Amino acid sequence: MTDDKLRSWLGAVADDLIPAADGMPAATEVGVTGSQLDLVLAVRPDLARALNRAWALAGEHLPGPALRLLADLDPRAHQAVLEIVAGAYYSSDLVKRLLGYTGQQPIPVRPEDYPAYLAEGLLDRVVDRGPVHRDPDSLSRRQ
């Protein structure tokens, strides 16, 4: 499934999708077809079958035509290739660091003592505009 030829083809496709630019590495530079691919398929084994289909359908083609072919013939396999490449790339610690992304880090919540929206009187004006709900007890059937 993940033999060298498939990895080599996927690497070409991955670098076509995510090339080195703007200070960011190309996909293969962060192991998208190596350890990152193994990681992706370990947590998303459902993608392996579609990757194999993609390889069978388009493995003989260069990246651009291969992706167009997959989009036409097997959209699910096409989507799986995108998900594998992007998933592997953005699971990389290096990539996250370069992006300054710090998501999924525990930061204790601190309720605001006096939120800006109160200080600015924004909610006062909402209240001043009155209820936005209808009271069935005081309304009759819509005319």
Taking CB under 8 A as the criterion, the residue among 6, 37, 47, 51 binding other proteins is 47
Toward other proteins, which CB reaches closer, 4 or 100?
100
Helix axes 63-73, 46-58, angle to 10 degrees: 110
Q: Dihedral of CA 50/52/57/59: which sign?
A: positive
Binding status of residue 86 toward other proteins by CB under 8 A: yes
Toward other proteins, which CB reaches closer, 1 or 139?
139
Binding status of residue 23 toward other proteins by CB under 8 A: yes
Taking CB under 8 A as the criterion, the residue among 7, 52, 57, 83 binding other proteins is 83
- By residue count, the chain amounts to 143
Cα(99)–Cα(96) distance, integer angstroms: 5
Cα(123)–Cα(127) distance, integer angstroms: 6
Binding status of residue 29 toward other proteins by CB under 8 A: no
Binding status of residue 129 toward other proteins by CB under 8 A: yes
